[in-house]
Amino acid sequence: DQQVKQNSPSLSVQEGRISILNCDYTNSMFDYFLWYKKYPAEGPTFLISISSIKDKNEDGRFTVFLNKSAKHLSLHIVPSQPGDSAVYFCAALDNTDKLIFGTGTRLQVFP
Protein backbone atom coordinates (compact mmCIF):
# COMPACT_ATOMS: atom_id res chain seq x y z
CA ASP A 1 0.00 0.00 0.00
CA GLN A 2 1.36 3.35 -1.07
CA GLN A 3 1.53 5.84 1.76
CA VAL A 4 2.53 8.59 -0.66
CA LYS A 5 0.57 8.76 -3.89
CA GLN A 6 1.07 10.68 -7.07
CA ASN A 7 -1.99 9.83 -9.09
CA SER A 8 -0.97 11.62 -12.26
CA PRO A 9 1.80 9.71 -14.01
CA SER A 10 2.33 12.50 -16.50
CA LEU A 11 1.63 16.18 -17.12
CA SER A 12 2.16 18.31 -20.19
CA VAL A 13 2.35 22.11 -19.90
CA GLN A 14 3.17 24.90 -22.29
CA GLU A 15 6.26 26.98 -21.63
CA GLY A 16 5.46 30.05 -19.53
CA ARG A 17 2.37 28.52 -17.97
CA ILE A 18 2.01 27.15 -14.46
CA SER A 19 2.73 23.49 -13.72
CA ILE A 20 0.91 21.96 -10.77
CA LEU A 21 2.02 18.57 -9.51
CA ASN A 22 -0.06 16.88 -6.87
CA CYS A 23 0.68 14.45 -4.08
CA ASP A 24 -1.51 12.77 -1.47
CA TYR A 25 -0.45 10.93 1.66
CA THR A 26 -2.24 8.64 4.04
CA ASN A 27 -0.25 8.87 7.27
CA SER A 28 -1.23 11.88 9.37
CA MET A 29 1.96 11.44 11.40
CA PHE A 30 4.13 12.59 8.50
CA ASP A 31 5.50 16.02 9.41
CA TYR A 32 8.03 16.80 6.71
CA PHE A 33 7.68 16.62 2.96
CA LEU A 34 10.08 16.97 0.07
CA TRP A 35 10.09 17.15 -3.69
CA TYR A 36 12.88 15.63 -5.74
CA LYS A 37 13.45 16.10 -9.46
CA LYS A 38 14.92 13.44 -11.70
CA TYR A 39 16.34 13.79 -15.20
CA PRO A 40 16.84 10.72 -17.42
CA ALA A 41 19.95 8.68 -16.60
CA GLU A 42 20.55 10.70 -13.45
CA GLY A 43 19.68 10.23 -9.81
CA PRO A 44 16.98 12.32 -8.13
CA THR A 45 18.04 15.72 -6.81
CA PHE A 46 16.44 17.63 -3.97
CA LEU A 47 14.20 20.48 -5.05
CA ILE A 48 12.22 21.90 -2.16
CA SER A 49 10.77 20.85 1.20
CA ILE A 50 8.12 21.89 3.67
CA SER A 51 7.50 21.25 7.33
CA SER A 52 4.02 20.50 8.60
CA ILE A 53 4.07 23.68 10.69
CA LYS A 54 3.87 25.64 7.45
CA ASP A 55 1.36 25.63 4.63
CA LYS A 56 3.59 27.17 1.99
CA ASN A 57 7.25 27.33 1.10
CA GLU A 58 8.61 29.25 -1.85
CA ASP A 59 11.95 29.09 -3.63
CA GLY A 60 12.16 31.11 -6.80
CA ARG A 61 9.82 29.66 -9.40
CA PHE A 62 8.95 26.72 -7.15
CA THR A 63 6.33 26.79 -4.42
CA VAL A 64 5.09 23.89 -2.36
CA PHE A 65 1.69 24.05 -0.68
CA LEU A 66 0.61 21.78 2.14
CA ASN A 67 -2.99 21.08 3.15
CA LYS A 68 -2.75 18.95 6.27
CA SER A 69 -6.47 18.45 6.71
CA ALA A 70 -6.70 17.02 3.20
CA LYS A 71 -3.35 15.22 3.47
CA HIS A 72 -2.40 16.83 0.20
CA LEU A 73 0.54 18.76 -1.09
CA SER A 74 1.27 20.32 -4.42
CA LEU A 75 4.25 21.74 -6.24
CA HIS A 76 3.72 24.81 -8.39
CA ILE A 77 6.23 25.84 -11.02
CA VAL A 78 5.70 29.24 -12.55
CA PRO A 79 6.61 30.10 -15.17
CA SER A 80 7.38 26.63 -16.50
CA GLN A 81 10.47 26.24 -18.64
CA PRO A 82 11.55 23.43 -21.00
CA GLY A 83 14.42 22.64 -18.63
CA ASP A 84 11.83 21.74 -15.98
CA SER A 85 10.90 18.66 -18.01
CA ALA A 86 11.71 15.79 -15.67
CA VAL A 87 10.13 13.28 -13.31
CA TYR A 88 9.10 14.80 -10.00
CA PHE A 89 8.92 12.67 -6.87
CA CYS A 90 7.01 13.63 -3.78
CA ALA A 91 8.38 12.21 -0.51
CA ALA A 92 7.45 12.20 3.15
CA LEU A 93 9.69 11.65 6.14
CA ASP A 94 8.35 8.96 8.45
CA ASN A 95 8.84 8.74 12.19
CA THR A 96 12.03 6.74 11.75
CA ASP A 97 13.45 9.45 9.44
CA LYS A 98 13.08 7.31 6.35
CA LEU A 99 11.92 8.89 3.11
CA ILE A 100 8.73 7.42 1.65
CA PHE A 101 8.52 8.30 -2.02
CA GLY A 102 5.62 8.42 -4.43
CA THR A 103 5.69 6.87 -7.89
CA GLY A 104 6.56 10.13 -9.62
CA THR A 105 4.96 12.43 -12.19
CA ARG A 106 6.61 13.02 -15.53
CA LEU A 107 6.39 16.69 -16.47
CA GLN A 108 6.88 17.78 -20.04
CA VAL A 109 7.12 21.48 -20.80
CA PHE A 110 6.72 22.22 -24.50
CA PRO A 111 7.53 25.47 -26.33
Partner 1 sequence: DAGVIQSPRHEVTEMGQEVTLRCKPISGHDYLFWYRQTMMRGLELLIYFNNNVPIDDSGMPEDRFSAKMPNASFSTLKIQPSEPRDSAVYFCASTLGGVTGKETQYFGPGTRLLVL
Residues lying near partner 1 in the complex (CB under 8 A): 2, 6, 32, 36, 41-46, 49, 89, 91, 93, 96-104
DSSP string, the chain: --SEE---SEEEEETTS-EEEEEEE--TT--EEEEEEE-TTS--EEEEEEETT-SEEEETTEEEEEETTTTEEEEEESS--GGG-EEEEEEEE-TTS-EEE---EEEEEE-
Between residues 9 and 82, which has the closer beta carbon with respect to partner 1? 9
Give me the least distance between CB of 65 and partner 1, in Å please. Answer: 19
Which one, 9 or 16, has the nearer CB to partner 1? 9
Closer to partner 1 by Cβ: residue 43 or 111:
43
